[in-house]
Amino acid sequence: MYDFANSAFATTILAVIFNHYFATVVAGGEKGVELLGFRLHGASFFTFSVSISMVISAILAPFLGAVADASASKKRFLMVFCYVAVISTGLLYFVHEGNYWRGAIFFIIANIGFAGGNVYYNAFLPEISDDEHIGRISGFGWALGYIGGGALLAVNLVMLKYPGLLGFQEGAFTVQDCFLSVSLWWFVFSLPTFLFLKERAQKIPLAHGKNYFQEGYLRLRHTFKRIRTFRELTKFLVAYLIYNEGIETVIVMASIFGAQVIGMETGEIILFFLMVQGIAFVGSLIFGFLADGIGNKRTIMLSLIIWSLIVVWAFQLGIFWDPKTEYWILGVLTGIVLGGSQAASRSLQGIFTPDANSAEFFGFFAVSGKFASVFGPLIYGILIAITGSVQSGILSVLLFFVVGGILLWTVNEQKGMEEKQAPVL
């Protein structure tokens, strides 16, 4: 249910409506904004905002994860990050043309809440599953997320294009109303998680005079000292850092690419992403079972091959048919691997993670994911700033998939599961 709730932010804010609105309207599109004496493309300003929020999340994640493990408070941390994000997302309602600093600040806080909350949410995975079924459970969570994100995106489409279906006059809703709907959706559908999910972890007894923040720091320092004990996990996290650069960049830039390269209108972009969401629901389920069947590593490798094909084809759009037709075909391929690659990555992390240190280790997982959201969009944004073209930097994404795949190939899945049995503390 939490995936169902927070995926509305991933779709409407990160992937489809707000990112496009911020880059083209709030931050001026090709006209851009003045920053430190330079004229910066609106898309670059948005990608830099994403990068800043991810740097902050990456710094906080491992330490607060260790605190959450020691104090058995993953659920409490999840609630705090969730509702900080819910409030900040609601404040995007007040962002209009030219309010790029206001929009960037509200967005950065909301994205920190979204990303930070996922650390504790993901950390529940080893607690509610076993190694044999972790792939399908992770995949089912991603699948529900695509249903939730897609459902609200469909509502947003009706709000903007067909308000009469809801009993309202033409033009009754604005994109700001869509941002407010994300906040309300996230709040309402996260409630079952906070009301009914039970945390099974137990608090670590503290020595006299210590607090859990001190304990979290000591646990984190101890983990760094013993990181060689978890060599396969470490190799996986480095590989994930690199190939997830490509995935996150595609997610953040797809609607901007569709608008500025293909010439798609807002309604068409929403329909495009609704199709992607629907296919991703099925893809997440298939890849979840595939991960349990042939192994998480092989499943991820298969997805990276498909991701590489998508990027190369996007660079050469129009080679077989007209560019818009091919972009829709790429949307189908993206939907197949989008949730599947991330669900398999999450389950591989899960089978490598000691149960007593789940939030801390998923904090490291988050660091890899967050830095992926830093460098990928940042490099893409720099290339846009240099060339003035959204399409020109697309091949930079291919490098992330290739290098990440090569590093992932060196990971020994069975050995990683054996290393998990060595306690961290």
* Residue range 206-263, pLDDT digits in tens: 666 677 778 777 777 776 666 667 889 889 988 988 898 888 888 777 887 888 888 8
In a domain, residue 383? The reply is yes
Residue 38: phi and psi, rounded to 5, are -110, 150
pLDDT value for 256: 78
Dump the DSSP string for 363-411: HHHHHHHHHHHHHHHHHHHHHHHHHS-SSTTTHHHHHHHHHHHHHHHT-
In a domain, residue 207? The reply is yes
End-to-end alpha carbon distance in the chain: 32
Q: Say whether pTM exceeds 0.95.
A: no
In a domain, residue 140? The reply is yes
pLDDT value for 356: 67
In a domain, residue 125? The reply is yes
In a domain, residue 425? The reply is no
Residue 263: phi and psi, rounded to 5, are 85, 30
pLDDT value for 366: 63
Could you say which residues of the chain have pLDDT below 70?
206-209, 223-228, 356, 359-360, 363-377, 389-393, 422-425
In a domain, residue 424? The reply is no
pLDDT tens for each residue of 362-388: 766 666 665 555 666 677 777 777 777
pLDDT value for 99: 95
pLDDT value for 409: 96
In a domain, residue 206? The reply is yes
In a domain, residue 225? The reply is yes
Q: Which domain holds residue 231?
A: 2-419
| CATH number reported for the structural domain that contains residue 88 in this entry | 1.20.1250.20
d(CA 340, CA 335): 9
User: For the chain, how many structural domains are there in total?
Assistant: 1
